Structure 1
């Protein structure tokens, strides 16, 4: 058992502090091979993770790397270094702490490899890069502990898969390595523990006292939410009132574009000139750092932000969190709530602001889930093979490797524990040849097998190119935005596709400012200031979150209540009217409504499967309707339903939901669809087939798209069973089209489909008529409308006896 050395004990006493029980427990379990700590935000879990390291280095001073800290954010690593230096400096401990991220100067990076500090704070990408060097065994010699902070944020992404492969590599270099995971929000601790552990070893789980329940409620507003939309402009007066009553308020949004719009409207209404900032990932780093410094100094009363402030950064005296729009995910909401009153045993205060009428229901469901500690999360299954291919190339950069040993090492990473040797060999062959259709081209022959059976890089010079492309984060193609003129200061980034839509004089929002597009200069968007009041909005990169499966089920259960005293009157009356005119969706059944509107037949399917899945369902149902001769004309989808309009009423919807036919339709749709090409491009970049970064340059999005599209078309034609096409289909099914949730919906519903034929629009379907993102369908409906038009013209001309066909 590790005890707290006198200098650290004296430091606690000088501050009048006592260790929390979970901090003492972490110290007592310092020798554990794998330990997962789940502690509330503000509970000192990061210090708990470092206490054994500080104790060991104080009791037995040494040089060289002792502890590696992994953070999902560069800013979080920098913040932890600042916080960690407080006890080290005040207790006079001889411990060197440094961070290493993409922002670290190259000179310092070289020095860190030659003379590493005792504690190094880094990110998954930087760790993968470090393991690729030939001197990795020397740098990591003596490494004792790895601390993975905010592990829940990595567990559900390819970044987490890459990290666990890197940890498997470190265990090979340092067999006695101890692993520690830290998190505040975990829906399935056992699953996270399995991911963190070195398979098949176990991982001990330590649960801290969760502390007091958060003070969380819905913001009361004078105006009712609109039927549709995501801006929540109706709530701005009430939000400003809350900002006035608190020291520092974080105002979270689910997308960067929504954050820009809300900040702009908030600023226009800010008659008291309260200091308010904006923070999201598309802004220039200098601007983000300026906002962060102002937050720490307490100079800002409110910060409009996105997920860039989700994680455990301690940004000053935040005493209120406001979530604009339904959180879509309970776990994300809990994480954001924890930003307020970042202290142990102090309740966090948060307010939810639904953006539209249906989101009122979703927000109430989320509140109930938080109070019930019912976290959500769709657990990712097997580790993706494009990450595996990249890891093989990383291993080759570090020196010759024996394939059996590398396979054993990789299968010790939890996500790859069931990887077969045949699957590994297929990835190895891809790295060596590029696959059957590409094996004639030298550029894709990256590794070769030596006579002694070891594998190595075919050309040692390839190591530099491989290292430049390490990582799994696939940025949306962006262009820098700068003020006009040579040397103009940077503002941030906008999507390349959005920039291509601009013409000189167009205005858009960035960083809360309205700017005027002037043109492109040296691959940067040049802008000037503009006094316009209604800008064209930049479509910033970022995912539009889908409502989680657990939250959807909770909403369906709410619908079955006799009444809804927890809902505002306008929303409960809306649901009661739906029940009177039609019925409310029921868990385990599928409600279909059919009614005429605007001269077209409308069909609404309430699948509650999330936006991505419902969008995919719209595509597949319209395809099935075409096959059944029902002439669909278009569809629009939300998180809870899909609305299809066309020429014919649906009498029997059951055949449309045949799962085998839906899956077959998906296969056909995916083959020639841009979704597959976009997914292929991402996987091909991760696997090393496409290089985005080269010496002194980076391919533009258009260049990368052209090269990946050519490769995709080539493989589909000549090598349809190519490894990367297999990976692409798996990734598309798992992420972009979310077909698994459609499959789950069909399995849940079976043949329990209820068709309600109505005379007019139902209350629940009405918001769908206002939903943006309508998708037109070009098919038999167009032909029928054209034929009817020609028939009408012929009748007018007295030529009706002549067939128009």
Structure 2
């Protein structure tokens, strides 16, 4: 029986029939072609690519006498996954097909290698890698840093990049691009396939993956029913604020879970998942052991227990974060609930695909609003999906910190010749336009740390030998580099561990640093009391009946995507025309009618601005619907431009829909606002605009309007870690966030003083603008705002859209109790006013 016959029999035994897109991939792989497979979650992407590899490569030559070799072939297929948690599940899926193909046909071996791989298995792999290896981008870079990297990886015939959409838009994706360029140099016939779901820019995504190589884009069009609906409250509050619905929706959520076999309850933050899990357990204590919590800060053993329970259908519900967004196959999951805004269409589709995770099974995701205006997002997301509007993701350009790390990696992995490596690097999308000057700067940086660090031997990380081949000259520096490969950068975390007992997980240092012994916090679904902090570990014990805090992890506030924001404004335009045709718009109609009566509703053609005078001062509310980071930049920019007329101090509040500026002194907004939206009044900025360089002018104004130095210093800390300026420590060595921050700040100040042209400083500023302030989106928002008709309303009272912005500002000043009391009084006043028209 041939491999094809064995796999056909396996499909038939399971009642499967190959889809057209699967056959297309099998044919392309057999022809040696590379490409990108795009299909919905659960459509069968894994078997499309994996069976293509088996059919193409899994027939070893016979030994003399007609016998087949018994030793597994060398490394042939490399399967890259963005998450360690996916490696084990992916390996199981690959092994099933491998077993079905018949070991007597091809004695392939399979294994996984990641940060979770045990020392014994890692040691065995160091002697001989399996035929197919499931690994992460970081572990691939470690393989490239082996002295025998070319010998070990030169046998590769195929590389598969799973969940490419998750890697594409960040530095880990750049790390993959550089690694693939190196592998192609060793084998110009290397077959590379990416797998992706929920992407808007497919052709660009494929070009980024394949570099200069031609490729085939395969669309997996499998009929699959998708249901997107909302769990609506009995009535919508007329004056909402972020999180005000929140746990008031708990009874309905409990009811939905009770009516389903297995449900995933997605939240956007780990803190939110802790709160919801605890609330569900208190509401249904009989569900203890049947519901679970899953997020990235929990210990690996806990996460694996939850994943196994889901796979076996033993859990009724799991409250989770993006830790379960990707590829793990949980067939028993029937329902997906999304608590709060999904923030993006692609994210909502990805999470919807966790239910009905098989061809032919329907997927359903139900939005649970935590804010009345979020109800509009449910209708907006459904319309965007129907229209095929999904967010695009693009590769970072020229991140030099990743490049210098890769250069040292390659120097360890056999060495490099500068001209040849430069040509290789320029075959990637991220560095296609890298200049010779930037390349020479990188060479200088890895050879001596740049102009200001030349006297220190620790920064002579790669130098040329007599033949012009660059190597790492010091075994200690080589060891340090291998220990710190990667681009995942987060604040230092502390282990959370029971006194004399098991580890529970980890929390960020900044949260625990504000606590004192005896304080309690919720973590892993348990109420814990802090006993002491020692050696970067928070030692705890069980607590009961005490008031608790909930850990706050960084990165919790994802911005609303442009695609979803535009869809929301389209829904508001329908409401403006009196077309309340969806359940969500019908539910939120009272709120929108108050907004329309007291002010106006934003539409694609209008920019709504509201002006209000209160005891606090003069308020401006503006609604660009551009997402929180852009609104932060816009608010600072508008305030800075206004201050050019007369010095003023503003308080700022932002959310995903708009921003508020509050001044204690009078501001003539009807006169000033149209002016400041067109352009600023800074002489240098105006001069730049006069010379057709409006982009430069905007950059100048944005940086001038912010504490750009402090923000850039924070970005530089991450760049310093990735580029190898800061050594994060050997395994088991604990270094606090304060130590790392102090080290990076020292480098930042030294470079500013003695090496102001340092390109890592320039990168810090560029990333600040691109990532934190989304300067491209800010520029597009300004252009759109200038094209819109300005609708400016003077308010007697704050509107339903203005109210949540006021609450954002209160939260910065008052305790939770004071905020709640203040909000309750305001809501009562405004609702009385609305009732009286």
Q: State if a TM-score over 0.5 links the two structures.
A: yes
Offset at residue 277 of structure 1 (A)? 0.5
1:803 maps to: none
Offset at residue 18 of structure 1 (A)? 2.2
Match of 1:337 among 334, 339, 352: 352
Return the alpha-carbon distance in structure 2 between the equivalents of residues 80 and 473 of structure 1: 22
1:757 has 2:774 as partner: no
Match of 1:571 among 588, 600, 604: 588
Offset at residue 460 of structure 1 (A)? 3.9
Which shifted more, 376-385 or 540-549?
376-385
Superposition pairs of residues 5-16 of structure 1, within 5 angstroms: 5-16=4-15
Match of 2:205 among 192, 212, 231: 192
Match of 2:668 among 647, 650, 673: 650
Going from structure 1 to structure 2, the CA distance change for 1:335 and 1:278 (only over 3 Å counts) comes to same
Question: Does the residue aligned with 2:242 lie in a helix, a strand or coil?
Answer: coil
Preserved contact between residue 726 and residue 744 of structure 2 (Cα < 8 Å): yes
2:256 maps to: 242
Question: Does the residue aligned with 1:375 lie in a helix, a strand or coil?
Answer: coil
Preserved contact between residue 158 and residue 192 of structure 2 (Cα < 8 Å): yes
Return the alpha-carbon distance in structure 1 between the equivalents of residues 285 and 466 of structure 2: 77
Match of 2:489 among 459, 464, 474: 474
Match of 1:352 among 367, 370, 373: 367
1:267 maps to: 281
Question: Does the residue aligned with 2:594 lie in a helix, a strand or coil?
Answer: helix
Return the alpha-carbon distance in structure 2 between the equivalents of residues 508 and 644 of structure 1: 35
1:434 has 2:449 as partner: yes
Match of 1:409 among 401, 424, 429: 424
Preserved contact between residue 636 and residue 774 of structure 1 (Cα < 8 Å): no
Which shifted more, 556-565 or 682-691?
556-565
Return the alpha-carbon distance in structure 2 between the equivalents of residues 312 and 266 of structure 1: 26
Going from structure 1 to structure 2, the CA distance change for 1:176 and 1:600 (only over 3 Å counts) comes to same
Going from structure 1 to structure 2, the CA distance change for 1:773 and 1:446 (only over 3 Å counts) comes to farther
Preserved contact between residue 213 and residue 371 of structure 1 (Cα < 8 Å): no
2:700 maps to: 664
Aligned residues: 771
Which shifted more, 219-228 or 510-519?
219-228
Question: Does the residue aligned with 1:693 lie in a helix, a strand or coil?
Answer: coil
2:217 maps to: 205
Alpha-carbon RMSD across the aligned residues, in angstroms, is 2.1
Going from structure 1 to structure 2, the CA distance change for 1:56 and 1:64 (only over 3 Å counts) comes to same
Offset at residue 163 of structure 1 (A)? 0.6
1:783 maps to: none
1:603 maps to: 620
Question: Does the residue aligned with 1:38 lie in a helix, a strand or coil?
Answer: strand
1:787 maps to: none
1:222 maps to: 234
Preserved contact between residue 330 and residue 375 of structure 1 (Cα < 8 Å): yes
TM-score of the superposition, structure 1-length normalised? Answer: 0.92
Question: Does the residue aligned with 2:287 lie in a helix, a strand or coil?
Answer: coil
Return the alpha-carbon distance in structure 1 between the equivalents of residues 749 and 335 of structure 2: 52
Return the alpha-carbon distance in structure 2 between the equivalents of residues 532 and 157 of structure 1: 43
Preserved contact between residue 328 and residue 548 of structure 1 (Cα < 8 Å): yes
Superposition pairs of residues 227-306 of structure 1, within 5 angstroms: 227-230=240-243, 232-273=246-287, 275-306=290-321
Query: Over residues 413-455 of structure 1, what are the superposed CA-to-partner deviations in whole Å (9 max), with x where a residue is unaligned?
Result: 1222222222222212111221222222222222223343332
Preserved contact between residue 3 and residue 101 of structure 2 (Cα < 8 Å): no
1:725 maps to: 761
Preserved contact between residue 200 and residue 390 of structure 2 (Cα < 8 Å): yes
Match of 1:321 among 333, 336, 349: 336
1:551 has 2:564 as partner: yes
2:721 maps to: 685
Going from structure 1 to structure 2, the CA distance change for 1:645 and 1:294 (only over 3 Å counts) comes to same
1:59 maps to: 59
1:797 maps to: none
1:801 maps to: none
Going from structure 1 to structure 2, the CA distance change for 1:90 and 1:400 (only over 3 Å counts) comes to closer
Which shifted more, 140-149 or 738-747?
738-747
Preserved contact between residue 380 and residue 570 of structure 2 (Cα < 8 Å): no
Preserved contact between residue 150 and residue 414 of structure 2 (Cα < 8 Å): no
Query: Over residues 731-787 of structure 1, what are the superposed CA-to-partner deviations in whole Å (9 max), with x where a residue is unaligned?
Result: 1111112222221111222275443222221232122112268668xxxxxxxxxxx
Preserved contact between residue 145 and residue 413 of structure 2 (Cα < 8 Å): yes
2:828 maps to: none
Going from structure 1 to structure 2, the CA distance change for 1:748 and 1:568 (only over 3 Å counts) comes to closer
Return the alpha-carbon distance in structure 1 between the equivalents of residues 727 and 209 of structure 2: 30
Offset at residue 186 of structure 1 (A)? 1.6
Return the alpha-carbon distance in structure 1 between the equivalents of residues 333 and 271 of structure 2: 24
Offset at residue 330 of structure 1 (A)? 0.3
Offset at residue 588 of structure 1 (A)? 5.1
Going from structure 1 to structure 2, the CA distance change for 1:589 and 1:720 (only over 3 Å counts) comes to farther
Return the alpha-carbon distance in structure 2 between the equivalents of residues 514 and 617 of structure 1: 41
Going from structure 1 to structure 2, the CA distance change for 1:772 and 1:471 (only over 3 Å counts) comes to farther
Query: Over residues 467-504 of structure 1, what are the superposed CA-to-partner deviations in whole Å (9 max), with x where a residue is unaligned?
Result: 11100000222101111x2x321111111011110012
Offset at residue 270 of structure 1 (A)? 1.4
Going from structure 1 to structure 2, the CA distance change for 1:772 and 1:498 (only over 3 Å counts) comes to farther
Going from structure 1 to structure 2, the CA distance change for 1:107 and 1:223 (only over 3 Å counts) comes to same
Query: Over residues 565-618 of structure 1, what are the superposed CA-to-partner deviations in whole Å (9 max), with x where a residue is unaligned?
Result: 223445222222222222222335432211012332111121222111212323
Superposition pairs of residues 77-116 of structure 1, within 5 angstroms: 77-93=87-103, 94-116=107-129
1:17 has 2:12 as partner: no
Which shifted more, 579-588 or 298-307?
579-588
2:831 maps to: none
Query: Over residues 202-248 of structure 1, what are the superposed CA-to-partner deviations in whole Å (9 max), with x where a residue is unaligned?
Result: 21101112422302211133354671233721111111111111110
Question: Does the residue aligned with 2:439 lie in a helix, a strand or coil?
Answer: helix
Question: Does the residue aligned with 1:479 lie in a helix, a strand or coil?
Answer: strand
Going from structure 1 to structure 2, the CA distance change for 1:159 and 1:655 (only over 3 Å counts) comes to same
Superposition pairs of residues 414-493 of structure 1, within 5 angstroms: 414-483=429-498, 485=499, 487-493=500-506
1:766 maps to: 803
Return the alpha-carbon distance in structure 2 between the equivalents of residues 213 and 374 of structure 1: 17
Question: Does the residue aligned with 1:36 lie in a helix, a strand or coil?
Answer: strand
Which shifted more, 452-461 or 632-641?
452-461
Return the alpha-carbon distance in structure 2 between the equivalents of residues 257 and 338 of structure 1: 24
1:175 has 2:188 as partner: yes
1:42 has 2:54 as partner: no
Going from structure 1 to structure 2, the CA distance change for 1:156 and 1:672 (only over 3 Å counts) comes to closer
Return the alpha-carbon distance in structure 2 between the equivalents of residues 671 and 574 of structure 1: 37
Offset at residue 529 of structure 1 (A)? 1.3
Offset at residue 79 of structure 1 (A)? 0.2
Return the alpha-carbon distance in structure 2 between the equivalents of residues 665 and 87 of structure 1: 58
